[in-house]
Amino acid sequence: MSTVCPQTMPHAQLELLYREHHGWLHGWLRQRLSSSADAADLAQDTFIRVLLARSAGSLREPRHYLATVARGLVIDLYRRRSLEQAYLDALALRPESYEPSAEERALILDSLLAIDRMLDGLGERTRAIFLAVQLDGLSYEKAAERVDVSVSTVRKHLAKALMHCLLLEDE
Amino acid sequence: MKVALNQAVDWYVRLNDSQVTDAQRAAWQAWLAEDPCHAQAWARLEGLRQRFEQAPQGLASMALENARYSRRTAVKTLAALFGVGLVGWQGYQVSPWSADYVTRVGERRRVTLADGSRLDLNTDTRVDIRFDAGQRLIHLLHGEILVQTAKDSRPLSVHSTEGRILALGTRFSVRQIGALTRVAVEEHAVEIRPRLAEAQMLRVEAGQACDFTSGRVGDLRPAQTSASAWAQGMLVVVDWRLDDLLAELSRYRSGYLGCSPEVAALRLSGAFNLDDCEATLASLQDALPVEVHRMTRYWVRIDQRKA
């Protein structure tokens, strides 16, 4: 979590924003999510994000801004849930019995989430090669076999994926 | 910095090769020492590598690929249904996790609705609640529920994939099984209307059960004894085949649970605790000439006991 910066929105301003738009935002989310508990949570999270954002200042179009922030949170929630389910499924398929603690699971899920976000925007082939080498630990030769390309293509796509991840960190 | 990062990536790709030579390693060392910028770029790459290492090998790539696939399918389904232009979040609306009340495999839950009606959710169940001025609607999206209606002037009905069940002041359970809805009534009565054949309305009275598809209503039959005992955490069976019992227990736990053909037709009666499936499985060994074989927690098979 980021820390509160000196430039954040003054408390009174946030309170006003909350009072005027919270009901609207909750309704907006409720229309888009079929769970009212999720909608309530995300509406709260949106205001927390706004509170922590440096750039909030005075908003010319507060609802547009709130909706943009909320939309990002919805995508994140969806991403997290799909990953959590896929991870539990993958875990259940493992031959040996291995049960990570709740804490371990949360850490692993966080790292999967970070990686999943980083890999957004990579092409299918680049992604497959990256996963084979970096996450499955395959040699270039084995990865080349799996994806059915040459070893030099594996090198090229691996470099491309790594560069993509590094540049994302800058943003 | 971008140039240094590019070089760092090139080095990384070379050093990560199984056929890396000592000469290459030495050249990399020289490059590192050449410029503080190089060392900095390498440190960032190293940080990235450590992050990947936190993900469990083997599991991570499978989870990432499957999660991506499930999101893509969800988005495609929606596109096919509504022909809408798509951005990521719209896939959320058809995601299986978005429902008002949800239970996971092995979990049960009791909720009281706004009108005072009581709803029990069995294992692996999802429901949406839509109450308005004119009606009380419960959407059963997956799994099984037991409804105890409260008095209210608005009609209460349960919608399943196959059709509607109108409650007539009552206690009843509804279960979604594949392309089938199973209704069992404990008190008073309900009316069933299949989605594609509303005229086939059928009244189901207390003590009766009925299966229906979207186009057809099945025959009325006596409801199973203690069919809704699950709401109390129990499974009560009378003269069941072993394979049927295992299929039923499978709903409450993850992984494979099955038996060999030699023991499938063995019969038994009993009351089992749903919160402790492992103890239930162990008790089978006392009741029947069988042995429980566990490969892992997720793979259990019942075989004939060796003499």
Residue A15 has pLDDT above 80, yes or no: no
A85 to B97: CB separation less than 8 angstroms, yes or no: yes
Q: What one-character-per-residue DSSP string does B251-292 give?
A: TTSSSEEEE-HHHHT-EEEEEEETT-HHHHHHHHHHHSSEEE
Give pLDDT tens digits for B212-261: 998 899 999 988 867 788 988 888 888 889 999 999 998 998 878 889 99
CA distances (Å), B72 to each of A109, B61, B79, B89, B148, in order? Answer: 20, 16, 11, 11, 38
The pLDDT value recorded for residue B160 is: 92
Range 27-46 of B in CB contact (< 8 A) with A: 44-45
How many angstroms separate the CA of residue B27 from the nearest CA in chain A? 19
Give pLDDT tens digits for B49-76: 888 888 887 788 888 888 887 776 665 5
Residue A103 has pLDDT above 60, yes or no: yes
How large is the ipTM? Answer: 0.72
Residue B18 has pLDDT above 50, yes or no: yes
Residue A98 has pLDDT above 70, yes or no: no
Looking at every residue in chain A, the average pLDDT score rounds to: 80
* CB B4 within 8 Å of CB B35: yes
More confident residue, A23 or A65: A23
Instruction: In whole angstroms, give the CA distance from residue B90 to residue B78.
Output: 8
Residue A4 has pLDDT above 60, yes or no: no
Looking at every residue in chain B, the average pLDDT score rounds to: 84
Name the pLDDT band for B12 (thresholds 50, 70, 90): very high
Q: Which residues pair with B272 in a beta bridge?
A: B235
Name the pLDDT band for A3 (thresholds 50, 70, 90): very low
The pLDDT value recorded for residue B19 is: 81
A78 to B92: CB separation less than 8 angstroms, yes or no: yes
Q: Which two tokens stand for residue A26?
A: 């909750």
Closest Cα to residue A21, out of A50, A54, A57, A52?
Answer: A50
The pLDDT value recorded for residue B84 is: 34
The pLDDT value recorded for residue A157 is: 95
Instruction: In whole angstroms, give the CA distance from residue A6 to residue A16.
Output: 19
Give pLDDT tens digits for A115-169: 988 888 888 889 999 999 998 888 999 999 988 899 999 999 999 999 999 988 7
Helix axes A102-119, A151-170, angle to 10 degrees: 100
What average pLDDT does this structure show over A99-104? 80
The pLDDT value recorded for residue B99 is: 66
Residue B98 has pLDDT above 60, yes or no: no
The pLDDT value recorded for residue A10 is: 64
* CB A49 within 8 Å of CB A73: yes
B114-119, Cβ contacts within 8 angstroms, sequence gap of 24 or more = B115/B150, B115/B152, B115/B154, B115/B156, B116/B150, B116/B152, B117/B147, B117/B148, B117/B149, B117/B150, B117/B152, B117/B156, B118/B147, B118/B148, B118/B150, B119/B145, B119/B146, B119/B147, B119/B148
How many angstroms separate the CA of residue A42 from the nearest CA in chain B? 13
B57 to A136: CB separation less than 8 angstroms, yes or no: yes
Residue A1 has pLDDT above 60, yes or no: no
The pLDDT value recorded for residue B90 is: 35
B63 to A94: CB separation less than 8 angstroms, yes or no: no
The amino acid present at B109, given as its one-letter code, is R
CB atoms within 10 A of CB A150: 11
Q: Which two tokens stand for residue A111?
A: 């790292």
Least confident interval from B15-19, B42-46, B182-186: B15-19
CA distances (Å), A155 to each of B3, B192, B281, in order? Answer: 18, 62, 51
Give pLDDT tens digits for B139-171: 998 899 999 999 888 899 999 988 999 999 789
Give B100's contacts in chain A (Cβ within 8 Å): 34-37
CA distances (Å), B114 to each of A35, B50, B117, B133, B141, in order? Answer: 16, 50, 7, 12, 20
* CB B139 within 8 Å of CB B162: no
Question: Which chain B residue shows the shortest CA-CA distance from A72?
Answer: B89
Q: How many percent of chain B have pLDDT more than 90?
A: 37
